[in-house]
Every structure is written in C-alpha cells, then in structure tokens.
Amino acid sequence: MKIKINPGLVALLVTALYRMLMATVRIRIDNVEALERYWAAGTPTVVACWHNELFPLPAMSVNTRWVAIVSASKDGEYLSRVLNRLGVDTARGSSSRQGLNALKYAVRAMRQGQGRVNGCVTVDGPRGPRHKAKDGVLLLAQKAGALLVPVRVSYSRKKIFDSWDRFEVPFPFSSCRIVIGEPYAVTDEKLRGEVLAREVATLEERLHALG
C-alpha cells in the first residue's frame, strides 16, 4: 500500500525545523550595502549562487522580497512550499515551456516591484553539473533590467550531503558568512553563441573569485 504524503504538511514541518536551526546560526553578511544602495534607487537585482550554498539565503535579514525560480518537478513542489512559507515567492519551471513561463513570471514581478522585489537563482541547478553556470539567470537579469549579484556562502561547521551538488547545511550554533559580490550589468546583446559563453564565463569567474 502506497502512503500519500501531504506536501503542505511536509512543508510545515520542514519550515519549522529550518527556522529552529537558523535561529541558532550566527549570520554575517558582507557588502549588503551594495544591494541596498540599488534597491533604494529602484534598481532590481538578481542574486546568483551555487545550488549547494542556497540553504541560508531565505534567512537573510535584508529589506526586500525575493522571487526564486524553482524546478517544476515533485521535489520542486516541496521546496516551493517551504520557500513560500519563508516569505519567498516562487516561479515554477525547468523544462523549456515551463521554464519560459517561470521566467516571464519572475520578470514581471521584478519590474512591478521596482527594486522592492528581487530575484534569486541557483545558477547550476536543478541537476548540475556542479558549479557550472547556466544561462537562465542571465536571461532573467537582462529581461528584468536587473543587475546580477554573485553570492557565496560558507560555514564554520557544516554537514555536506552525498548529492550531485554536495549540498551544505550548517550545524546548530555554527557561524555563517554570506559574501555579496559587486552587482554588475549583463550585456544588452542577444544571449547566444560567443556572447552567451562570455557572459557565463564572467559569472563563473566572479563567483569563484569570492571564494
């Protein structure tokens, strides 16, 4: 007999556990003023991070609303519900058509927000390869007229899971450092061929430069 799992109930439990854990973690955010400066001017931004470093970002105590692009898969449904409970709006999509709809939703939300709604994308998700950027985050930033912001995360103590991305979760009472890179504009050229390859390489270089 197959037992049906209620996604809403799972999301409620996971959200509660997440909040309990993050309440014990000491978070330090480097260069947050680089984001707030643009938000105050009404300029939207898109945070670009690696999939394995996503965990603490919903807990960032900065004055904005986030919209994140989440896979349309079953696993994405659970993640989407948890993020919604944490105050993060989600645009669902990973296949070509669904991905386009998700991109349109996120672009519309950011344009209407005028700097009060900002994007967040795991640039090597949802299945990798690990630490290899894809073009979705570049399209989102370009279409939304947003600046791209590389972000890295590190912990004093952490659990590394045996997953494709080596996902990281901080231990209770550890410290977490979130390093925000300098926001920059994506080219206004069409993102294809050599132009796309150059922009992807630039993003990867900026992420790796943050350590």
Among candidate residues 147, 152, 155, 201, the one with its CA nearest the CA of residue 34: 147
pLDDT tens sequence across 136-188: 999 999 999 999 999 999 999 999 999 999 999 999 999 999 999 999 999 99
73-96: pLDDT as tens digits: 777 788 889 999 998 999 876 544
* pTM greater than 0.85: yes
Domains in the chain, start-ordered, CATH in brackets?
7-209 (3.40.1130.10)
Q: Describe the crossing of helices 136-144 and 193-209 by its angle, rounded to 10 degrees.
A: 100
pLDDT band at 1; cut points 50, 70, 90:
very low
